[in-house]
Amino acid sequence: MAKHNSSLKLHGFNNLTKSLSFNIYDICYARSALQRAEYIEYIDEVYNAERLTDILSEVANIIGATILNVAHQDYDPQGASVTMLICEEPLKDSVVAHLDKSHITVHTYPESHPDDGVSTFRADIDVSTCGLISPLKALNYLIHSLESDIVIMDYRVRGFTRNVRGRKHFIDHRINSIQDYLDREIRQRYEMVDVNVYQENLFHTKMRLKNLDLDTYLFGEGLEDINTRDARMIRRKVEHEILEIFYGRNMPR
């Protein structure tokens, strides 16, 4: 696994901004209107603002950040948002420099199709830091916490900082791919595709589960409750939904 290089001697504060953005998707099949409503209710309960706040608080702890402020909100009829202002330095008195330059946010979007039974939960997560702390340290924790079918990630380093001799540095650590920072168990579970623009310090990785266990996608019923023909039909629908989201385009059925 690649490691953050902290040996760079800088002049003053590290002005590089490191931003990690997630789109995660959870897919399920809920056959009836009642089951679809129950799925949305279940998602709203499991991913409510309080639990999301706990997840983001642990992210701040993992990357070594101090939480300055938290705002969270549950929405009616569905969804939740959490925003945290964070900083690298421990709090001292009442003034903290750079408090407005680092943040963690999450927004959730449960939705369901009114006809074909497919329901999808999406969460957008952004971890943006400056200084020596890196959002990549929380990568594995976030993926394990949300246990998603599809994960789409962007990592971008913006701006520049100077060393003690005045030379500009546009990145302060080595990275070839976001995959460098994923643990082995995650890399084995997911199929991954990279699109990286190295000259822009822009790294994009999208992942989807390799194995589809249909029983885990059924909401309100199990495989023992459906016949073989329905099982094949449901599998096709779930696979089609995953492929369209993974490739970002409509595909023929």
Is 130 annotated as catalytic? yes
Is 119 annotated as catalytic? no
Catalytic residue among 28, 112, 130, 134: 130
Catalytic residue among 87, 102, 103, 112: 102
Is 240 annotated as catalytic? no
DSSP string, the chain: ---------BSSS---EEEEEEEEEEEEE--SHHHHHHHHHHHHHHT-HHHHHHHHHHHHHHHTPEEEEEEEEE-SSS-EEEEEEEESSPP-TT--TTTTSEEEEEEEEEEE-TTT-EEEEEEEEEEEEESS--GGGGHHHHHHHH--SEEEEEEEEES-EEBTTS-EES-SS--S-GGGGS-HHHHHHEEEEEEEEGGGTEEEEEEEES---GGGGBSS--GGGS-HHHHHHHHHHHHHHHHHHHHTS----
Catalytic residue among 72, 98, 107, 240: 107
Catalytic residues: 102, 107, 130
